């Protein structure tokens, strides 16, 4: 059974009251779940405490906080299992309607070609897709790839891990075959994976209505510290 914990990360745990209210509603819909928000420092402490010196060394070398959060979400779910949720995303339905007791992973497609949702992840402890993802990201660092490209450095390793798993296990599924309402489970590598619609079929939403308050901006206002800008000015990792 996938642990009933929702992991999130942000620079502070002191969020705007409107966002806290959204989280309260989310937890009322899911009373058996607990929510844990890690700060930047707590992410670092988690990896240092739960992984070996090599993994921690790779994690510490990541300068871009978005890519660091990407790496952390893979690591925390690989170690603990549960649900990862971006701080500006929101669960809007009872997760028991989406996650089954026998599930080890629930994967959903994006509308973007060949992409799978990574802003929220649902995995049990030690899942082979997360292991592949972690190895893919580290391989990027070893081979000095994508130093100014967050998407390819720390998000695409997950997409590649999903596609590699599909190919290695000869699964009769692909991004092209996933649509709203898709619900197909497969046994893989002494585990399993279930492919579930597009964007979790609206059980989880990408951006909640108060996401701009995280950065103290007006709704729709673009920020100068957005990762698409900072990745060009500073190396994602050293």
Tens of pLDDT, residue by residue over 123-166, are 999 999 999 999 999 999 999 999 999 999 999 999 999 999 99
For 62-121, the pLDDT digits (tens) are 999 999 999 999 999 999 999 999 999 999 999 999 999 999 999 999 999 999 999 999
Residue 194 maps to a domain = yes
Residue 17 maps to a domain = yes
Residue 196 maps to a domain = yes
CATH of the domain at 216: 3.90.550
CA distance 190 to 237: 34
Residue 78 maps to a domain = yes
Domain that holds residue 221: 5-232
Instruction: Say what the pLDDT of residue 174 is.
Output: 97
Q: Which is nearest to 107 in space by CA: 89, 122, 88? A: 122
CA distance 86 to 83: 10
Residue 56 maps to a domain = yes
Q: Give the chain's domain count.
A: 1
Count the residues in the chain. Answer: 238
Residue 238 maps to a domain = no
Residue 237 maps to a domain = no
pTM score of the predicted model = 0.95
Residue 111 maps to a domain = yes
């Amino acid at each position: 059974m996938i642990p009933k914990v929702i992991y999130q990360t942000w620079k502070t745990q002191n969020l705007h009251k409107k966002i806290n209210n959204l989280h309260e509603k989310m937890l009322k819909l899911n009373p058996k779940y607990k929510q844990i928000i890690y700060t930047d420092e707590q992410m670092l402490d988690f990896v240092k405490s739960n992984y070996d010196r090599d993994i921690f060394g790779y994690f510490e070398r990541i300068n871009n906080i978005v890519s660091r959060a990407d790496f952390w979400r893979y690591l925390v779910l690989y170690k603990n299992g549960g649900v990862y949720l971006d701080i500006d995303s929101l669960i809007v339905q009872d997760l028991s309607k989406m996650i089954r007791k026998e599930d080890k992973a629930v994967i959903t497609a994006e509308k973007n070609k060949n992409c799978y949702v990574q802003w929220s992840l649902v995995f049990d402890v030690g899942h082979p897709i997360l292991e592949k993802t972690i190895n893919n990201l580290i391989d990027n660092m070893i081979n000095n790839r994508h130093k100014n490209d967050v998407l390819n450095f720390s998000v695409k390793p997950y997409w590649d891990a999903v596609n590699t798993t599909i190919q290695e296990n000869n699964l009769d599924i692909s991004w092209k075959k996933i649509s709203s309402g898709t619900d197909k489970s497969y046994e893989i590598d002494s585990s399993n994976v279930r492919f579930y619609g597009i964007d979790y079929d609206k059980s989880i939403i990408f951006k909640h209505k108060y996401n701009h308050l995280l950065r103290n901006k007006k709704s729709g206002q673009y920020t100068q510290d957005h990762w698409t800008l900072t990745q060009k000015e500073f190396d994602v990792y050293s």
